[in-house]
Structure formats: structure tokens, C-alpha cells
Amino acid sequence: DIAGTLATEEADDASQVAKLRSALESVDHKRRKILQQMRNDAALLTLENGSSPIQNPSTAAEDARLASLISLDGILKQVKDITRQSSVSSMGRSKKKAMLASLDELGERMPSLLDIDHPCAQRQIANARRLVESVREEDDPAPEIHHAQRPSAELGSGTDTDVAQWNVLQFNTGSTTPFIIKCGANSNSELVIKADAKVQEPKGGEIVRVVPRPSVLENMSLDEMKQIFSELPEALSLLALARTADGTRARYSRLYRTLAMKVPSLRDLVGELEKGGVLKDVRS
């Protein structure tokens, strides 16, 4: 059984994961096609006594491995992006901390993988962590200077921002004209937003950014959080920033939940984050 053999084959890197996933999907497609043809042919499925001569083979092992490989593929794509961003001589302290936090989150996704796929994911995450940790750390520039030096279209690290469907939310803080944030999910089940760079004229046009999970802000100072927000549409800063670091974390957590719950494919993720204590709704 080719599928059974493929389901027990180990993958060492992203290219092998892709090949193995493609092979399993191909075999699965052919198997389903054959079974459908058999179902359409009554002569093949029914004997004279009415019993079925052919039993559908169990595909539980292959299905589980395919699901694991799909999850592993998503993890490795994020690791690859982090590795790409780490191919520099130096980076700001907050960005480095955010990237390490992202790697921690990838490590927390191990339960979605079968045991056979754990070594590959753990090895790739560990290699990326060593690379990030080896990059020389610099003090973050002041947000005002940061904005002046870089146009709004370049703000943010930018990862997978392909979104199939946008959902629209309108906010009104009372101190500004109402503004809109569009939210969706990418193929890695990350929250992605699209909004004007600024909430007031000149708005600078819409920018698309992957929104960091609330856990990224854990243990950050208020200035470090401001630096993170400076790479996102200004609307997030207006809605999330408070006078204290704890207050900002609480407000951002509530904002993240509000945006993510607007995206149907992320509602299960919100539930998982709440169970894990990542979404802390603490008022300060």
C-alpha cells in the first residue's frame, strides 16, 4: 500500500515535507476517484446474495499524517520567513523579542503534529532560534524618527498577507472621525488587517499587516510596545495604547479578540488562546 508507506516516511526538511504531502494528496485523490467509480458500478459493489465484495480500506492513518504534514508545512513556512528576516547583521530589541516569541508560539503548535513530524519541526524551530539569538541587538529607534525615515507602505515586517475574504469593522473613539479596519486570516491562521496608515488626512493609503498575537507583548515595556505598534496601522495604536504597559496589554488583548472573532476561521483559535491564558482581559 503506497499510502501506508508514505504515511510512515519521515521528512527532514521543508522540501521533503512538500514532496511527501503532495504524494499523499495524489494517492488520496486517486483512491477517492477509484472508490467513487466503484460506487457508481453496482456490479462491482453487490454480489448475488446482496453482500459487498469489496470493503473500503481504512485511511485513518494516512488522513492523520496528511493533516499533520499540512500543519507542519505551515509551521515551516513561518520558520522560513523568520529565518529570512534574521539574515541581517543587527535588529531592534523589540523586533528580536517579537520574533523569538513567534518561535515560542510555533513550538506550542506541536500537539497538532504526529510524533513522526515532531523532530523536523523542533529542529527547524531550534535552528531559527539560534539564528535570531545570534543577531546583534540594537536599541529601538524612537517611533517618531522611525515614521519619518520610512514610508507607511514599508512599515511592519510583513509575512503572509494573502487573505481570501475581508471582514469590515468600524470604530469610533470619539476623538477622531470613525475609521475602518478590515480583518481576515492568512493560510497560517494568523490575523491579518488592512487599514489606512493614518486615521486622519493625509491617511497614506491602506497597508496590510499580520497582527502579532497578544503573547508577543508579554514582558515588553510600554516603549517597546509602541515600537511594535509603529509598524502597524495607526488605528491599532489608538485603540490599544494605554498609560501603562499592563493597561496596554489588556486593551490590546481585547482588541485582538474583537478583530479575530470577526473572522470565522479564527474563532477556534480565539478559544484556544483563551484556554491557554494568552487572551488576558485584565483591566488596569
Q: Is residue 118 part of a domain?
A: yes
State the total domains in the chain: 2
Of 113, 138, 163, which residue constitutes the final position of a domain?
A: 138
Please give the average per-residue pLDDT across 236-251, as a whole number.
88
Q: Is residue 192 part of a domain?
A: yes
> What is the per-residue pLDDT for 145?
34
pLDDT digit string (tens) for 139-156? 766 544 333 333 333 333
Pair 8, 87 in one domain: yes
Q: Which of 12-21, 22-31, 55-64, 126-135 comes out lowest in average pLDDT?
A: 55-64
Of 138, 168, 187, which residue constitutes the final position of a domain?
A: 138
Pair 117, 93 in one domain: yes
Pair 134, 222 in one domain: no
pLDDT band at 134 (very low <50, low <70, confident <90, very high): very high
- Domain of 64, in residue numbers: 2-138
Q: Is residue 146 part of a domain?
A: no
pLDDT band at 7 (very low <50, low <70, confident <90, very high): low
pLDDT digit string (tens) for 9-43? 677 777 777 787 777 777 777 767 766 665 666 55
Amino acid sitting at position 38: M
Q: What pTM value is reported for the model?
A: 0.44
Q: Is residue 283 part of a domain?
A: no
Of 112, 138, 164, which residue constitutes the final position of a domain?
A: 138
Q: Is residue 281 part of a domain?
A: no
Q: Is residue 144 part of a domain?
A: no
pLDDT band at 6 (very low <50, low <70, confident <90, very high): low
Alpha helices (runs of H) in the chain, residue ranges in sequence order: 2-7, 14-40, 42-45, 60-85, 93-107, 118-134, 143-149, 222-229, 234-240, 245-261, 267-275
Pair 13, 131 in one domain: yes
